[in-house]
Amino acid sequence: MRIDILSLFPETFASPLNQSIIKRAREQGLVDIVIHDIRDYTHDKHHTADDYPYGGGPGMVLKPEPVFEATEVIEKQLGVSELPIILLTPQGRLFSQSVAQELALRPHLMLICGHYEGLDERICEHLATDQISIGDYVLSGGELAALVVVDAVARLIPGVLGSEDSANSDSHSDGLLEYPQYTRPEIYRGWSVPSVLVSGNHGHIAEWRRRQAILRTAKRRPDLLEKGKICEEERKWMLENLSSPK
Ligand code: ADE
């Protein structure tokens, strides 16, 4: 997969994209991530990328020319057209695991990070093919949102996660939060690991994990449970066990 990111602050990406799973995926050639500085596509000597809003008002607005030209140059260089051009904006559709799964199927994505107080509406209307928000809050720019999208999408690319840390057991992958995990020591400060996990009975462990995932989702994110596929018997068990705290 190839991901091109357009930003006014390209330095933001260096550290997060050079750590851990994403770093390994890039080194293995599973994902090619290229950062472009929008200012490189300006034509004046001051590299002006923003301007005053028509009609007045506070703040500056990202100009359309460098953003349109950057996408056109990149598309031409790559010999592609009609690639998904995703604008990161608090006004976009809400990002979720299912949106990440949808994007992970694409061979190529272009992400545009908005900045300042806004961007020229013609970028939204005539360039972006999709607009994504990572939550109902306003960030200073789209850079952190783009990093969230890249991370969530990249870990779904086949081969990026080893089989030992498969994306299938992640929270949200089956519409439920992930079950609790423990590691050694078996007893820490008097708190024991649930005995089923040291029983060696894989059937019981799988059932315990499934039920804990259901219970945790019901307590913390009941809104998700409508989507999660739980059977009648599991629902009954859940209602009986919901009264305990945590
Ligand atoms: N840019 C600023 N806030 C944002 C958000 N919540 N999601 C995506 N891009 C943004």
What does each of the 246 residues of the chain score in pLDDT, given as a tens digit? 999 999 999 999 999 999 999 999 999 999 999 999 999 999 999 999 999 999 999 999 999 999 999 999 999 999 998 899 999 999 999 999 999 999 999 999 999 998 767 899 999 999 999 999 999 999 999 999 999 999 999 999 999 998 645 777 788 878 899 999 999 999 999 999 999 999 999 999 999 999 999 999 999 999 999 866 899 999 999 999 998 665
Contact 169, 177 (CB under 8 A): no
Which amino acid is located at 228 in the chain? G
For a mutational test of ligand 1's pocket, the pick from 95, 134, 144, i.e. the residue with the most ligand atoms closer than 8 A to its C-beta, is 134
Single pTM value for the model:
0.94
Q: What is the atom index within ligand 1 of the atom nearest the CA of 137?
A: 6
What's the CA gap between 32 and 122, in Å, rounded? Answer: 28
**DSSP 8-state symbol, 12:** G
Where would I find the H helices in the chain? 20-27, 64-78, 97-104, 121-126, 143-154, 202-220, 222-225, 232-241
CA distance 208 to 195: 11
Phi first, then psi: give them for residue 88, nearest 5 degrees. Answer: -90, 120
Active site members: 90, 117, 155, 170
Residue nearest to atom 10 of ligand 1 (CA): 89
